[in-house]
Structure 1
């Protein structure tokens, strides 16, 4: 049940080969890598999963492969799209393939609370009772959702069981959500995990983020739940230089993919074009950064 969501849900990468084709074999190794390092589930086809570079057929095929490799773990499929018809089509197909829920972020062009309500009315008229994660990510969508507006959505649409909170300052907004919402929901956090310890202290139920060392994200979650606050901060701080290095948009995703290639989770660090490719200088800088961090190698 989506209402029981907690712990690390990694925002999964979409693996590509050097020629730009989807690397389905690496979806299997990547899934095993994530689950072996503490992921309770995956969010596939998100912004950092390069979903915007896939055709509809590829989108369904990627989701289906992640479902096949899930081994009992939860799969949430990002279906956000500026074209509502495409969102509806993809939702129907990923749910038919066995996804547990979808994640929806409102599209650009929504300017008022009334626009927001009308948009989700149109969505749920078409997709029905599909369990949903509401993504609050104005830096990407351009849509600012106030706490009262989010509460209106929760009252109107029981399908929404989880909020992915990425509005900044996220700790402050989590505090307000916990205090002001009309019904309880799970709150997971993104922003590449950069504010995870503070978000956990404010009541988040776990991270929904990507990082080449997911064991840090799951480890911080576990330590915070055990009341070991100082140890959680120490673990987070140990990985912070690389975490920050990966939090640089598509270029940071290239760094993340390179690190996971080195750890054996991916065959290639390729992004599908248009996208950055790491230079020899980039790789040398990464080598130096990692050499000073004493990190695990597998």
Structure 2
């Protein structure tokens, strides 16, 4: 069977910063390649975990150019989020010009719109390029709940709507979407600690956060689920869950970046208004890592 466009693990890559606060393009390049070597399918920059809302337009475009060059043909699928529809359209067009192979389109930042306004915003971005689009539902972060019937409306209207990243934290939404989406629209889990449940309900892709520190374990968990090896998947999932749950709280960016630093795969630096973890927060993450220990070894047979 032909692999789907968005099947597999796609890291929501963090944005690394130098000591002076500028984007660390050298580390970004190497980090993306490291995760791809572990078996990831592509990279999703400029999303919530990528601190996209703290980057300038020019910084975003520079990040995309670095990743497109670094990955040499592997998909770069940036988050397209903005305060204004005009800037979101500009960013989508700039991503296309930079060589990105898809877009993950977010609702408008800050302004909580009704469906007609949200539909107009999303439609403008979808129409801005011929690139395949993943629609992103994250009512926890963006206060706009993108309902299944609304997603279906856009999927039926636009042939380049090819995926949905579902991050409502309600696995019933995955089930609901799987029941109504046309065959050309793929379903991706967008919450780290709902991967197994989401795939059991019909998802075929995972846009993940802790993959920034644990790419091999993330890919193995996904592959076990895809192969229907649910008992082995549950063994790995139980080990992974205390870390995956760091993706589901307010300071998820700081937490995941701190795990990267502790595991030797990045820096804990964030851009204000976020502040790095200190004291008890650091100690708790170190405790979680210590209790978890090394991942169980499961690749004893071909998947």
What residue is the counterpart of 1:294 in the other structure?
293
1:60 & 1:2 partners in 2: Cα distance?
29
1:179 maps to 2:179: yes
- Partner residue of 1:261? 261
Q: CA deviation at 1:289?
A: 2.3
Is the 1:45–1:79 contact (alpha carbons within 8 Å) kept by the matching residues of 2?
A: yes
**3-state SS of paired residue (2:83):** coil
CA distance in 2, matches of 1:259, 1:145: 31
SS of match in other structure, 1:93? helix
**Which gives a bigger RCO, structure 1 or 2 (Cα 8 Å, sep 6+)?**
1
* Residue 110 (1) aligns with residue 109 (2): no
Q: Do the aligned partners of 2:85 and 2:121 also contact (CA within 8 Å) in 1?
A: no
Helix, strand or coil at the partner of 1:19: coil
How many residue pairs match? The answer is: 290
Are residues 119 and 85 of structure 1, via their aligned partners in 2, closer, same or farther at CA, if it must alter by over 3 Å?
A: closer
Structure 2 unaligned runs (5+)? 296-303
Aligned-residue Cα RMSD (Å) equals 2.0
The verdict on how the C-alpha distance between 1:128 and 1:95 changes in structure 2, with shifts beyond 3 A counting, is closer
Distance 1:33 1:264, change over 3 A: farther
Residues 167 and 189 in structure 2, CA contact (< 8 A), matched pair in contact too: yes
1:82-231 pair list within 5 angstroms: 82-107=83-108, 108-112=111-115, 114-125=116-127, 127-169=128-170, 171-191=171-191, 193-211=192-210, 212-231=213-232
Q: With structure 1 as the length reference, what TM-score do the two structures score?
A: 0.90
Q: Deviations over 1:187-244 (max 9, x none)?
A: 11112x1111000100101210110213232112101122210110110110111222
SS of residue matched to 2:11 = strand
Q: Equivalents in 2 of 1:24, 1:254: separation in Å?
A: 19
Cα distance change, pair 294–128 in 1 and its aligned pair in 2 (3 A): closer
SS in 1 for 2:187: strand
Deviation at 1:2, TM superposition (A): 10
How far residue 122 of structure 1 moved from its aligned partner, in angstroms, is 3.1
Equivalence for 2:21: 20
Does the 8 A contact of 1:163 with 1:185 survive in 2? yes
- Are the structure 2 counterparts of residues 117 and 37 from structure 1 closer, same or farther at C-alpha, using a change threshold of 3 Å? same
TM-fit CA distance, 1:84: 1.3
Residues 123 and 253 (structure 1), Cα distance of their counterparts in 2 relative to 1, 3 Å cut: closer
The question of whether the paired residues in 2 share the 8 Å contact of 1:3 and 1:185 is answered with no
